[in-house]
Amino acid sequence: MRTKPSPETAAFGIDIGKKVFHVVALNAAGAVIQRAKFSRDTLMAFFDAAPKVLIGMEACPGSQWLAWRLVAMGHDARIIPARFVKPYVKSNKTDTVDAAAIAEAVTRPTMRFVEVRTPEQVDLQALHRIRDRLVGQRTALMNQARAFCIEYGLAMRVGAGGFHVDIRRHLANAENDLTPAMRVLLEELLDDLAYTEGRIKAVNAKVEAYASEHEAVSRLVTIPGIGALGATALVAAAGDGRQFKKARDLAAWLGLVPAEHSTGGKQTLLGISKRGNRYVRRLIIHGARSCLLHLNRTNHALGSWLSALEARMHRNKAVVALANKLTRIVWAILTKPGTVYLQSKGAVAS
């Protein structure tokens, strides 16, 4: 395999590995003209000497870093969702065949790409993922303690507040059926829970600090139902939103539009597609649910629209419809610097 780049190269495909990278080069006609394998150390030297052309890679851990390095060299680096590469894989699957499929996929004019995020976005997204993991651990610890207590006939109320009150009441009651060994285990679980809740508070503080310093986030939090958590998650995932041509594209990217299965000229719309980032979609839907319950509809631009929506459909459907509308407003504010949401009647109620 030739390891020097060909001057006839029009596009590259890279199959990313932990230590080994497989590269396939295509010419202007789309024919494979080179196949090569590189270590992580020699890959950069190869592309530094290669023609500055289109380079494709699958979305995976390490693709963002590689895209940054290649863009800095002057290449047009694109990241492709793995499911869009699969149709181009021919015959048996190997790393070289995958690289060839990526090279072919990246040249398609209708191909969809993953945004190359900034390091700041990656850091912020990592913060959100850590928080999501910690919240899951907190719930697991509470559920485990509830299960242990119910084995001794001690039930607890739903919710974190009721849990903390009830478990301490049970531990303080020396006349219930809890054994000394179980009391020790529950105390240790509470220690673990206190540590986890402290970590969540620390992460929340970092998110709040970022929200207060970031101009786009400060504009997004003017939207009802979008708090610091949702706004920072949106910025981490979507950036400035300019990769979407219109507001509906952002809503579709987050899976907040109907899935469609139409054939024979008959349109069939299903429930929402639930594509894209589940974490961001969950935050927006929770925000919409809160907005539906607590929004002052008398003076707000969305008030009459929400009331009419609730009158003709189930509340859960109304929540998703509101989440879709809020996402469209997010796109409008992200793509227009300096814009904030106006809450007065008629401002943004279309």
Q: Are residues 157 and 233 in the same domain?
A: no
Bridge-partner residues for 39, per DSSP?
Answer: 20
Please state whether 258 falls in left (phi above 0), alpha (psi between -120 and 50) or beta. Answer: beta
**pLDDT tens for each residue of 208-238:** 999 999 999 999 999 999 999 999 999 999 9
CATH code of the domain in which 96 resides: 3.30.420.140
**Domain termination residue (choose one: 213, 242, 258):** 213
Look at residue 337 in the predicted model and tell me its pLDDT.
86
Q: What is the rounded CA–CA span in Å between residue 348 and residue 26?
A: 49
Q: Are residues 51 and 126 in the same domain?
A: no
Q: Are residues 279 and 186 in the same domain?
A: no
Indicate if the pLDDT at residue 338 is higher than 90: no
Considering only CA atoms, which of 221, 218, 222, 224 is closest in space to residue 297? 224
**pLDDT tens for each residue of 232-245:** 999 999 988 888 99
Q: Mean of the per-residue pLDDT values for the chain?
A: 90
**What secondary structure letter does DSSP report for 57?**
E
pLDDT bin (cut points 50, 70, 90) of residue 344 is low
- Global confidence as pTM: 0.86
**Domain termination residue (choose one: 106, 137, 160):** 106
Q: Do the beta carbons of residue 128 and residue 208 sit within 8 Å?
A: no
Q: What is the rounded CA–CA span in Å between residue 220 and residue 214?
A: 10
Q: What is the rounded CA–CA span in Å between residue 183 and residue 205?
A: 33
Beta strands per DSSP E along the chain? 11-15, 20-26, 32-39, 54-58, 76-80, 258-260, 269-272
pLDDT bin (cut points 50, 70, 90) of residue 348 is very low
**Phi/psi of residue 209, each to 5°?**
-65, -40
**pLDDT tens for each residue of 17-56:** 989 999 999 999 999 999 999 998 899 999 998 999 999 9
Please give the average per-residue pLDDT across 283-296, as a whole number.
90
Q: Are residues 205 and 295 in the same domain?
A: no
As a three-state string, the secondary structure of 200-216 is HHHHHHHHHHHHHHCHH
Note whether residue 274 is domain-resident: yes
pLDDT bin (cut points 50, 70, 90) of residue 343 is low
Bridge-partner residues for 263, per DSSP?
Answer: 266
| 346 vs 168, residue with greater confidence | 168
Token pair for residue 289?
Answer: 């649910």
Q: Are residues 92 and 70 in the same domain?
A: yes
Indicate if the pLDDT at residue 94 is higher than 50: yes
Look at residue 303 in the predicted model and tell me its pLDDT.
81
Note whether residue 6 is domain-resident: no
pLDDT bin (cut points 50, 70, 90) of residue 198 is very high
Note whether residue 346 is domain-resident: no
Q: Are residues 96 and 18 in the same domain?
A: yes
pLDDT bin (cut points 50, 70, 90) of residue 263 is confident
Token pair for residue 98?
Answer: 């995958």
Q: Are residues 225 and 162 in the same domain?
A: no
Note whether residue 225 is domain-resident: yes
**pLDDT tens for each residue of 163-188:** 999 999 999 999 999 999 999 999 99
As a dihedral over the C-alpha atoms of residue 332, residue 333, residue 334, residue 340, rounded to 10 degrees, the angle is 170
Q: Which helix (H) or strand (E) holds 73?
A: helix 63-73
Please give the average per-residue pLDDT across 315-344, as a whole number.
88
How many domains does the chain divide into? 3
* Coil/strand/helix, residue 268: coil
Note whether residue 288 is domain-resident: yes
pLDDT bin (cut points 50, 70, 90) of residue 350 is very low
Q: Are residues 206 and 250 in the same domain?
A: no
Q: Are residues 164 and 241 in the same domain?
A: no
Domain that holds residue 58: 11-106
Look at residue 309 in the predicted model and tell me its pLDDT.
87
Token pair for residue 272?
Answer: 């929402």
Q: What is the rounded CA–CA span in Å between residue 44 and residue 22?
A: 13
Q: Do the beta carbons of residue 242 and residue 221 sit within 8 Å?
A: no
Token pair for residue 163?
Answer: 């849990």
Note whether residue 309 is domain-resident: yes
Token pair for residue 303?
Answer: 């008030």
